Amino acid sequence: MTSHHARPIEPQVLGELRATDDAGRPCVPVQDTEGGAPLRCCLRPSEPGERIALVSYAPLRRWAARTGATPGAYDEQGPVFVHAEACPGPGPAGPGYPFVRPGVLRTLRRYSAQGHILGGRLLEVPEPAGRDAPDEAMDAALTEAFADSEVALVHVRAVEYGCFLYEVRRS
């Protein structure tokens, strides 16, 4: 059972990204022939045949604009996959964290309320000793991150490409 909530990209932001991304480029939809792209709009892998787009997204910049934080040099943008058209978003909250499976490497970057990085952690998701081991490892890493009272949010990223996967905020 997870005790933290992975946040998809908000619908309003998705609408903006589907027009012009955070790097100022127009969205270019493609037909996904293989499937498996990590969709940040609905926090699931894409299915073959879905129309998706790879857009540039600046999650910390957008969060800072809403909160008044000043991330300075920690502001960055990077590629994320989204559905090319509006989608219903994530399904009902089920067990587990998105994009967590045995053997993957994840970076958990911790940020203060001012938008400054407070550190991070590399997590190698373990092979399951039990059915819930991958989720338990992510949950423990997030619990550790939020044990620091200065941490306002955590960005979960894929190590292989550095891609932003989702954000977890302090409850």
The pTM assigned to this predicted structure is 0.91
pLDDT at 95: 61
pLDDT at 59: 96
pLDDT at 101: 85
Where along the chain do its domains lie? Answer: 11-83, 105-169
Q: Which of 82, 4, 73, 95 is nearest to 43 (CA)?
A: 82
CA atoms within a 13 Å half-sphere pointing along the CA-CB vector of 159: 13
Hey, what amino acid is at 55? V
> Which residue numbers in the chain have pLDDT < 50?
none
pLDDT at 96: 76
Structure token pair of residue 141: 């890493």
